[in-house]
Structure 1
Amino acid sequence: MTALLDADQLRTFIAIAETGSFTKAAEVVNKTQSAVSMQMKRLEERIDRPVFVRDGRASKLTEDGQRLLDYARRIIKLNLETIAAFGDEELSGRVRLGVPDDYADRYLPEIMARFSRAYPGVELSVTCEPSVELWERIDGNEIDLAIVTNCESQRAAETFRRERLLWVTSNRHPTHTEEIIPLALGRPTCAWRRTAIERLDVMGRPYRLLYSSSNAGAVAAAVLSGLAVSVLAESGLRPGMRVLTPADGYPDLPSCQIGLVRNAHESSTLANALAEHIISSLDNLSEAAIAAE
């Protein structure tokens, strides 16, 4: 009988592929680096193909590794859904989730609704803060899970979603045509803010930072009222906003990666259950891989 692929090895494989590093992946899956290396050796022996090749300090997927990644994501997702469907244990207690303010209003309703139906006896405590501060709360053992923007992070996170970053303005005001562009952006630690300013500097477009806030509602209000131009992830678009393109004189922006960070100090069944619901609710990477086949 043909031996099946090991789900734990596949999860570690996905973590390496997404972080580009055995060391960072070890943090994600809460294993030692030697254990991660041994898992990948056994996985390569099982499929009789190399899945990684060294590229400087990074680990890059081979062509066979890229093929395996699509299958691995689908296998792990189905595994988690199956466990949740047949879980008889009535969980109770409290689980702490951190979410950036700009994701809370669009992601939390679905996450909370699905999780509450599955585990009515669990209290979900939510903290809304910028990604940088959520990393600190994870390190301080103050929250169990965090959804974070992972555009350029050097920290390990399980990337499950990718979205376009877009320039936005009001569709009722010509704010974007002003000679000196008025901007409404996040605080100085915001990766989107740094990216926007860097792209404008490269183009030589003059601008002034008119509003600075980590509150997504405040930034959106400045845009919709015609006071400023901003940068948002694709899912953050609101009625009344217009997307700006290079034809309008605004440069293309990189995509935004959204990831999940787990508290390595205190793993729990509740936190793992919530993580499964978050990934199954918001994952668009596996869907994209399936659609591409």
Structure 2
Amino acid sequence: MTVLLDTDHLRTFVAIAETGSFTRAADVVHKTQSAVSMQMKRLEDRVGRALFARDGRASRLTADGERLLDYARRIVKLNLEAVAAFADEALSGRVCLGVPDDYADRYLPDIMARFSRTHPSVELTVVCEPSFRLSEHIAAGTIDLAIITATEITGRNAQVIRRERLLWVSSLRHSAHLETPTPLALGQPTCQWRDVAMTRLTAAGRAYRMLYSSPNHGAVSAAVLSGLAVSVVPESALRPGMRVLGPSEGFPPLPPCDIGLLRNRHEPSALADALANHIIQGLDNLTEATAAAE
């Protein structure tokens, strides 16, 4: 007898794979955690293989789970496209997202993949500019949403959805952090991280000189990895070959990096709301942390 897989079970399976957690997946698919667990038990019974291996609080896929994931994504995507093709009220049109280049590199692939699967008829336009420029675009109503570094200036109206450690970094293979004065590679004068880095070094009595300045995160990282300078990056931006520096090397602690979501309040739309939900689901690391602390 031919075994047919339930697309709802596969959708939940994909959500768990992408979030790494039954709890977060339950929020994504709007089910209780017990319902999600029951669905996955039935899916494992249907395929006759174990799909998950518990890794602490996380849910890691087994080798068979990894094999199923590609099929599940394609089946769910095709199902959504079929439904959208016959839905009179299916969302379509254009939505514009602003994001700094470093966040685009780290976060956009997952966000775009999720959004495209659920809204295949929507055109997504992406604008890459620094956070302060994006906040200006939002205020002017020229873009729909923006992912920004939330500061006192840029983040007044932002919904903070993610918090990461801000870290001093240098190259593993070089010793720029031992030089006096310390050579720095940072963003332009409007960059909040640049201001924080220089302020903390001054307060700690550590001499520094600005060696490289660029609005492009890739250029700043290149200066670090080539061993020319020290910089600051959020934890998720750490790259192979970077060394994290701390008080033991003479680098003072830095405040956390808050990542926020700005919305165009002038022209709210269902498309923007749908994209915002995908962004929050993909980036949010505060909800679970708050729940764990309670």
The answer to whether the superposition gives a TM-score over 0.5 is yes
What is the rounded CA distance, in whole Å, between the counterparts of 2:264 and 2:122 in structure 1?
A: 18
What SS does the aligned partner of 2:103 have? helix
Give runs of aligned pairs for residues 100-119 of structure 1, distance below 5 A: 100-119=100-119
- Larger relative CO (CA 8 A, sep 6+): 1 or 2? 1
One-letter code aligned to 1:203: A
What SS does the aligned partner of 1:136 have? helix
CA contact (8 A) 1:171 1:242 kept: yes
1:152 equivalent in structure 2: 152
What is the rounded CA distance, in whole Å, between the counterparts of 1:227 and 1:264 in structure 2?
A: 43
Give runs of aligned pairs for residues 119-198 of structure 1, distance below 5 A: 119-153=119-153, 155-198=156-199
CA contact (8 A) 1:152 1:191 kept: no
What SS does the aligned partner of 1:113 have? helix
CA contact (8 A) 1:182 1:208 kept: yes
CA distances 1:76-130 after superposition (whole Å, capped 9, x unpaired): x94x7539x9997421110000001111100000000000001010010000100
CA contact (8 A) 1:95 1:144 kept: yes
2:68 equivalent in structure 1: none
One-letter code aligned to 1:126: V
What is the rounded CA distance, in whole Å, between the counterparts of 2:113 and 2:90 in structure 1?
A: 17
Match of 1:82 among 11, 15, 30: 30
CA shift, 1:181, in A, is: 0.5
What SS does the aligned partner of 1:148 have? strand
Percent identity between the two aligned chains:
63
One-letter code aligned to 2:124: L
CA distances 1:130-176 after superposition (whole Å, capped 9, x unpaired): 00000111111110000010133362110110000000000000110
CA distances 1:188-225 after superposition (whole Å, capped 9, x unpaired): 11110000000011011111101111101000000000
CA shift, 1:235, in A, is: 0.5
One-letter code aligned to 2:140: G
1:96 equivalent in structure 2: 96
What is the rounded CA distance, in whole Å, between the counterparts of 1:181 and 1:269 in structure 2?
A: 49
Give runs of aligned pairs for residues 1-293 of structure 1, distance below 5 A: 78=27, 81-82=29-30, 89-153=89-153, 155-293=156-294
2:17 equivalent in structure 1: none
1:30 equivalent in structure 2: none
CA shift, 1:291, in A, is: 3.0
What is the rounded CA distance, in whole Å, between the counterparts of 1:291 and 1:241 in structure 2?
A: 31
What is the rounded CA distance, in whole Å, between the counterparts of 1:214 and 1:101 in structure 2?
A: 9
Q: TM-score, normalised by structure 2?
A: 0.70
How many pairs are equivalent? 217
CA distances 1:30-53 after superposition (whole Å, capped 9, x unpaired): xxxxxxxxxxxxxxxxxxxxxxxx
What SS does the aligned partner of 1:284 have? coil
What is the rounded CA distance, in whole Å, between the counterparts of 1:202 and 1:254 in structure 2?
A: 14
What runs of 5+ residues in structure 2 fail to find an aligned partner?
A: 1-22, 32-79
What runs of 5+ residues in structure 1 fail to find an aligned partner?
A: 1-73
One-letter code aligned to 1:113: A
CA contact (8 A) 1:111 1:281 kept: yes
What is the rounded CA distance, in whole Å, between the counterparts of 1:287 and 1:217 in structure 2?
A: 31
